[in-house]
């Protein structure tokens, strides 16, 4: 390892597009404020992820792949660089030089599903994401289980449109969900979120965001399943520098990182009901599953 460790973070997308990557950049900035110098690398092309990780590993002591999209690339590249440490935020892979640092999106997503079930006037809720990466699948599973917990008769329209960063595609899928009767949508998107927001507004559907607190930014949001992955970014760097490089998971026990943020028009009785459910999850009385075995939905 270098006298001054060389840290590099690889983001899968483009600068300025999407809350997930922005949260990671913010976490990197917080680490920089404490004296950590890190290189930032952007890779928007899925087919180039492994090649980019290999190029970065050739000049770094710690490589952070930000997001579950990095799992396959790190699994492929890490064995070729045994002296380099690889961290995957929101990941669940293992290796002698790999550690994963995760905020448990599925826990706040479970609360979001319960909110949708208790709030929605009809019986149909929607979920939309882009790529079928493991953390996205776990988030979907959490939302579906929370919805079922609150409203056993609910119907879930759940789909992955294929891209986290395509606003027109997200808009088309969201419009289709509205046409199919959904009154609330939980979207796990990045650069494509603006399209989902536009469709929700056009069809009078309420939105539930993720990663950061979207209720502070637009009244279309009923809630946001906060899971600040920037905390995972900071944790990966701190663990490496402290010589305790091992997997770490953060959930509802740390509300600054994982929580359900509510819009001002969510009534106090419903808020209290959700807080009680949070307590049950933390106590182990309610389990948050990581797998969904229900039907998939596509437009048309």
The per-residue DSSP string of 78-104 comes to GGG-TTSEEEEET----BTTEEEEEE-
Are residues 93 and 113 located together in one domain of the fold? Answer: no
Residue 98's domain is classified under what CATH number?
3.40.50.2300
* pLDDT of 50: 97
* pLDDT of 161: 97
Asked whether residue 255 is assigned to any structural domain, the reply reads no
pTM: 0.90
Burial 60-91 (b: 16+ CB within 10 A, else e): bbbbbbbbbbbbbbbbebbeebeebbbbbbbb
* pLDDT of 238: 95
Asked whether residue 298 is assigned to any structural domain, the reply reads no
Are residues 276 and 159 located together in one domain of the fold? Answer: yes
Domain count within the chain: 2
Are residues 277 and 148 located together in one domain of the fold? Answer: yes
* pLDDT of 263: 98
Asked whether residue 2 is assigned to any structural domain, the reply reads no
User: pLDDT tens digits for the chain (300 residues)?
Assistant: 666 789 999 999 888 767 889 999 999 999 888 788 899 999 999 999 999 999 999 999 999 999 999 999 999 999 999 999 999 999 999 999 999 999 999 999 999 999 999 999 999 999 999 999 899 999 999 999 999 999 999 999 999 999 998 999 999 999 999 999 999 999 999 889 999 999 999 999 999 999 999 999 999 999 999 999 999 999 999 999 999 999 999 999 999 999 999 999 999 999 999 999 999 999 999 999 999 999 999 998
* pLDDT of 3: 67
Asked whether residue 168 is assigned to any structural domain, the reply reads yes
Dist CA 219 CA 182 (whole Å): 18
Expressed as residue numbers, the domain containing 171 is: 105-226+267-283
* pLDDT of 32: 85
């Amino acid at each position: 390892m270098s006298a001054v460790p060389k840290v590099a973070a690889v983001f899968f997308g483009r600068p300025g597009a999407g809350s997930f990557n922005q949260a990671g950049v913010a976490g990197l900035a917080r680490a920089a404020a404490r004296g950590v110098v890190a290189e930032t690398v952007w890779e928007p092309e899925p087919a180039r992820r492994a090649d980019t990780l290999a190029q970065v590993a050739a000049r770094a002591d710690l490589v952070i792949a930000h997001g579950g999209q990095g799992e396959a690339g790190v699994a492929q590249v890490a064995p070729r660089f045994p002296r380099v440490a690889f961290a995957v935020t929101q990941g669940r892979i293992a290796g002698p030089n790999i550690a994963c640092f995760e905020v448990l999106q599925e826990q706040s997503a479970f609360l979001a599903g319960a909110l949708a079930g208790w709030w929605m006037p009809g019986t149909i809720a929607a979920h939309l994401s882009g790529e079928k990466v493991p953390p996205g699948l776990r988030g979907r599973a959490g939302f579906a289980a929370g919805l079922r917990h609150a409203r056993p008769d609910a119907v879930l329209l759940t789909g992955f449109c294929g891209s986290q960063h395509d606003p027109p595609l997200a808009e088309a899928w969201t419009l289709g969900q509205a046409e199919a009767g959904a009154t609330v949508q939980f979207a796990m998107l990045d650069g494509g979120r603006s399209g989902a927001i536009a469709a929700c507004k056009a069809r009078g559907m309420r939105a539930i965001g993720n990663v950061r607190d979207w209720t502070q930014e637009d009244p279309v949001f009923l809630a946001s399943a906060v899971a600040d992955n920037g905390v995972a970014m900071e944790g990966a760097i701190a663990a490496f520098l402290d010589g305790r490089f091992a997997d770490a998971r953060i959930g509802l026990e740390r509300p600054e990182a994982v929580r359900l943020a509510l819009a001002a028009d969510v009534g106090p009785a419903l808020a209290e009901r959700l807080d009680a459910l949070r307590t049950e999850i933390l106590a182990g009385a309610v389990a948050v599953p990581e797998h969904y075995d229900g039907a998939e939905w596509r437009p048309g």
